[in-house]
């Protein structure tokens, strides 16, 4: 693993990273409460009942005297609602089920959009009726899920186009006289701002597009799947990580944790330390692809964090002792230790000068009272990697663990093997170290 990766996880877990916050949850009910509590803090709402503040967070304009929220498109110096649509975003790897985005969207709409429900009902209603199975309302944050170059807009556009994945806010129609408006009008975040001084386009979505037999062109977007946000950025992201989660891969986790510009809040089910294992090669979506141009795939059922996934055996590094390791180099080291009857621990958690770290291998000799910490450094040609290793080496020294070539320290000896670009793996050096360990 990267020489500084375990430090990053440790700093996050101990709250030392200012733009990352951890929130633990166990059940779907607890997740809902945690999400609402965090939204109150992130959006600076007065309480969990603050409908006006929630509306303002997605671009609504709050009238101070009445507290009523209105949603408008851009006009001259008046900002459009969609200009705030990407200020915050909830992400989850799941769409369906109690932990999926559909359930989260439904929960937030029911909690924070009650006034809109009232405006959409009764005789002489002021806004369109709720649209589709998700009951989309005036003022809702939505995502367009169908490419279209024919959708009606106002003001009219020379080249009207809305893309699959465009996020926006429903800004119309609102009829203060109660004229029973029937269609939705959406301002898109990608088509608003100061350049639309004469009015940003409002795209029309008609009721018949949300029928039972059609695939609706709009969906609620307070919460989105990680897949739908690839290439997007948001001010603050709130990332839901269920455990176990069959769909979650190393690549998906990377996408989820890199969508924010300012802050990310990680809602993790169970222990946070479990998340670091989603960064392992076995959790890579690439490793799960059973395709190879030159060799036939060998699918293997592997259990990772209580979840069974099928991986190509050609991409799994499993030692003779049966554990999975991160690289072929670590595989060689582990197997040479095993062949020499040297008992070892792979990536155990240790404390170095107050920092939680995970050495590649730890070998304890209770009879001799000796402990060896083995770090394999596979990217020493990378200056940033080498810099992170220097910092970790200083932590070892502070903990009284000194390099083996210096005679070791009072709390253990540090063994390092290194790889540089353009140089092969030094198997002979491993043999010499194993001979030292066997006396």
**pLDDT, position 305:** 44
- Counted residue by residue, the chain has a size of 439
| Euclidean distance between CA atoms 79 and 187, whole angstroms | 11
For the chain, percent of residues with pLDDT exceeding 90: 60
Label residue 279 by pLDDT band (50, 70, 90): low
Calculate the average pLDDT of the chain. 87
| Euclidean distance between CA atoms 113 and 226, whole angstroms | 24
Verdict on whether the full-model pTM lies above 0.75: no
**pLDDT, position 4:** 64
Q: Which of 103, 117, 98, 102 is nearest to 55 (CA)?
A: 117
Whether 371 and 415 have beta carbons less than 8 Å apart is answered as: no
The two tokens of residue 331 are 């595989």
Label residue 290 by pLDDT band (50, 70, 90): very low
Strand-pair partners of 90: 223, 238
Label residue 41 by pLDDT band (50, 70, 90): very high
| Euclidean distance between CA atoms 149 and 159, whole angstroms | 7
| Structural domains present in the chain | 4-273 (3.40.50.300), 325-438 (3.40.960.10)
Asked if residue 332 has pLDDT above 80, the reply is: yes
| Euclidean distance between CA atoms 3 and 291, whole angstroms | 31
Label residue 31 by pLDDT band (50, 70, 90): very high
**pLDDT, position 304:** 44
**pLDDT, position 231:** 81
Asked if residue 417 has pLDDT above 60, the reply is: yes
Which residues touch 209 (CB under 8 Å, ≥6 apart)?
A: 216, 217
Asked if residue 313 has pLDDT above 70, the reply is: no
Handedness of CA 420, 425, 429, 435 (dihedral sign): positive
Strand-pair partners of 142: 168, 220
Which residues touch 264 (CB under 8 Å, ≥6 apart)?
A: 19, 20, 21, 236, 237, 238, 239, 257
Q: Could you report the per-residue pLDDT of 192-222, keeping only the tens digit for each?
A: 999 998 999 999 999 999 987 779 999 999 9
**pLDDT, position 2:** 62
Whether 314 and 292 have beta carbons less than 8 Å apart is answered as: yes
Q: Among 9-23, 258-272, 303-317, 345-359, name the one with the lowest average pLDDT.
A: 303-317
315: left (phi over 0), alpha (psi -120 to 50) or beta: alpha
| Euclidean distance between CA atoms 20 and 12, whole angstroms | 7
Q: Which of 394, 426, 413, 434 is nearest to 3 (CA)?
A: 394
Q: Which of 202, 206, 278, 208 is nearest to 239 (CA)?
A: 278
Label residue 288 by pLDDT band (50, 70, 90): very low
Asked if residue 173 has pLDDT above 60, the reply is: yes
């Amino acid at each position: 693993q990267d020489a500084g990766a375990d430090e990053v996880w440790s700093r996050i877990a101990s709250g030392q990273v200012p733009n990352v916050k951890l929130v633990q949850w166990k059940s779907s009910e607890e997740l809902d409460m945690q999400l609402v509590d965090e939204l109150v803090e992130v959006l600076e709402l007065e309480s969990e009942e603050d409908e006006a503040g929630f509306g303002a967070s997605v671009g609504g304009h709050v009238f101070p005297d009445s507290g009523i929220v209105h949603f408008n498109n851009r006009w001259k110096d008046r900002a459009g609602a969609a200009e705030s649509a990407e200020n915050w975003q909830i992400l989850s790897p799941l769409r369906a089920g109690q932990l999926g985005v559909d359930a989260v969207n439904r929960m937030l709409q029911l909690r924070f959009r009650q006034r809109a429900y009232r405006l959409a009902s009764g005789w002489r209603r002021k806004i369109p009726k709720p649209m589709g199975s998700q009951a989309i309302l005036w003022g809702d944050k939505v995502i367009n899920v169908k490419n279209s170059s024919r959708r009606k807009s106002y003001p009219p556009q020379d080249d009207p186009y809305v893309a699959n994945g465009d996020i926006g806010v429903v800004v119309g129609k609102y009829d203060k006289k109660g004229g029973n408006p029937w269609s939705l009008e959406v301002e898109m975040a990608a088509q608003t701002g100061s350049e639309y001084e004469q009015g940003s386009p409002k795209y029309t979505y008609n009721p018949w597009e949300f029928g039972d037999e059609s695939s609706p062109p709009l969906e609620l977007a307070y919460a989105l799947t990680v897949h739908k946000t690839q290439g997007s950025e948001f001010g603050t992201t709130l990332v839901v990580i269920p455990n176990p989660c069959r769909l979650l891969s190393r690549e998906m986790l990377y996408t989820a944790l890199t969508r924010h510009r300012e802050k990310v809040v990680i809602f993790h089910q169970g222990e946070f330390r479990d998340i670091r294992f989603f960064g392992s090669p076995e959790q890579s979506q690439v490793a799960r692809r059973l395709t190879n141009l030159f060799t036939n795939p060998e699918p293997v059922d592997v259990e990772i964090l209580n979840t069974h996934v099928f991986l190509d055996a050609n991409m799994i590094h499993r030692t003779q002792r049966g554990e999975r390791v991160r690289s072929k180099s670590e595989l060689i080291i582990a197997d040479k230790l095993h062949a020499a009857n040297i008992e070892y621990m792979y990536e155990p958690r240790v404390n170095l000068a107050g920092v939680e770290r995970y050495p590649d291998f730890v070998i304890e000799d209770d009879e001799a009272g000796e402990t060896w910490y083995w770090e394999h450094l596979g990217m020493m040609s990378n200056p940033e990697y080498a810099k992170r290793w220097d910092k970790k080496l200083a932590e070892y020294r502070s903990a009284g663990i000194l390099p083996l070539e210096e005679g070791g320290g009072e709390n253990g000896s540090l063994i390092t093997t290194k790889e540089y670009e353009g140089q092969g793996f030094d198997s002979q050096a491993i043999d010499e170290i194993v001979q030292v360990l066997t006396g």
